[in-house]
Amino acid sequence: MMFLSPTSGSVALEEMVKILHDFVQEEQEASYTLVIGTDSHTTRRSTTLVTAVIIHRIGKGARFFYRKRSSRPLFDLRTRIYRETELSLELVELLNRSGMSDLTSQWPLEIHIDIGQQGETKVLIQEICGWVTSVGYEARIKPMSFGASSVADRFAE
């Protein structure tokens, strides 16, 4: 599984985990937040789904990686939001199995969801946020969901 980063280029999952650990080691006294968010873009032919992994050194920058995949077109908004959330949660579990569990247990882990109080997605807030919190993670929605609505969105087209 490969991820892309503006800083590190194309890296395998294991290398990404090492880079994230190294980033934390550079300033061990700093505070960090781990963010995972997915966004999508649908055309007549396909849906592009982008999942971003961000480690934010509070007040001092961040590193991010993203993974892009395509699927059959997902025209239904509910289906697309559920798939985005599912990909974010799957990646958390994969990261935990790949050596990130020390960071995910030490620092806050937020799942950023591309839904908000405005527009069609507001009817999904309770069920999607309930799903994320029921498996033990913090859910963030717009305008606080920059991992999905800014970082992942930037690469989804």
Rounded to whole angstroms, the Cα distance separating 148 from 40 reads 9
Q: What is the pLDDT of residue 105?
A: 87
Domain coordinates in residue numbering, the chain: 2-156
- 75-110 pLDDT, tens per residue? 999 999 999 999 999 999 999 999 999 988 899 999
Rounded to two decimals, the pTM is 0.95
Question: What value does the mean pLDDT of the chain take?
Answer: 96
Q: What pLDDT band is residue 10 in, cutting at 50, 70 and 90?
A: very high
Rounded to whole angstroms, the Cα distance separating 2 from 10 reads 7
